[in-house]
Amino acid sequence: MTQSFNTLLYEQRDAVAIITMNRPDKLNACNTHMYKELTSLLGTIDDDRGIRAIIITGSGDRAFSAGADLDELDFDNLRESSDYIKIDATAFRAMENVRQPVIAAVNGAAIGYGCKVAIISDITVASDKARFSLPGATFGAVHMIMLGRAREVMGRKRLAEMLMTGKMISAETAEEYGIVNHVVPQEDVLDEALKIANQIAACPALSIEVIRRMMHRGNDDDYRWEDLLSPGLLLMEDLKEGQRAFIEGRKPKFTGK
């Protein structure tokens, strides 16, 4: 592979592709450039019959991903917010539609976008130091595609509490909720993910592809709702106030606008 990336690291170990989100100064927060690079890379991997499984992890040992880059969530009009949602949704669709199974190796905090990757992935291995949160509502955002995906994974009541309070849960609780398959010591996260990936790679490729496609069927409706509702939500005054309050380290003053 000759592609080079600004926000990702890529390596291939035998039949396993390893994608590392690489913005350690931002705790691997995802910006539009990362969304686009991830979409492009997954498209290349999809075309490579020699790759049989994909691992997604984060650089460093503090965060898998601390969420979407809040510096980008400042829109003046519906066109700007709609364009952002399209870039976001395209990356998640690529993650779900790629032929190869995706394993999340969660090596630290998985917040917002990072938690969504852990939920959408086929299998998730987490460090015992990992933490998970979907805090969008606390600053005026809605994790729209989680309303279907995560409800299927963890159930409506657990999801409702996470989405409506922004509560942070431990790796062990995430395992109980069904977000995580295995919790291992920090130093063993990638090795455990590679072990599972190699077990998958040893199976007939077509069988694995059929299983994956069937398990992800019927999810496109979530994206239609996101396309419809999220651009407007991103223009709310409460969202802008939530961002300012987060950056300034104070409690937000929401007005319902």
pLDDT digits (tens, 9 = 90+) for 149-208: 899 899 999 999 999 999 999 999 999 999 999 999 999 999 999 999 999 999 999 999
Find the mean pLDDT for residues 25-41.
97
* Domains of the chain by residue range: 8-188+200-205
Give the residue, 81 or 194, on which the prediction is more confident. 194
* Confidence at residue 51, expressed as pLDDT on a 0 to 100 scale: 98
- 97-146 residue pLDDT tens: 999 999 999 999 999 999 999 999 999 999 999 999 999 888 888 888 88
Lowest mean pLDDT among 54-63, 202-211, 231-240: 231-240
* Confidence at residue 106, expressed as pLDDT on a 0 to 100 scale: 98
Answer whether CATH 3.90.226.10 is correct for domain 8-188+200-205.
yes
Find the mean pLDDT for residues 54-83.
92
* Confidence at residue 165, expressed as pLDDT on a 0 to 100 scale: 96
* Confidence at residue 2, expressed as pLDDT on a 0 to 100 scale: 57
Percent share of the chain, pLDDT over 70: 97
Task: Tell me the DSSP string of the chain.
Answer: -----SSEEEEEETTEEEEEE--GGGTT-B-HHHHHHHHHHHHHHHT-TT--EEEEEESSSSEEE--B-GGG---SSHHHHHHHHHHHHHHHHHHHHSSS-EEEEE-SEEETHHHHHHHHSSEEEEETT-EEE--GGGGT---TTHHHHHHHHH-HHHHHHHHHH---EEHHHHHHHTS-SEEE-GGGHHHHHHHHHHHHHTS-HHHHHHHHHHHTTT-HHHHHHHHHHHHHHTT-HHHHHHHHHHHHTS-------
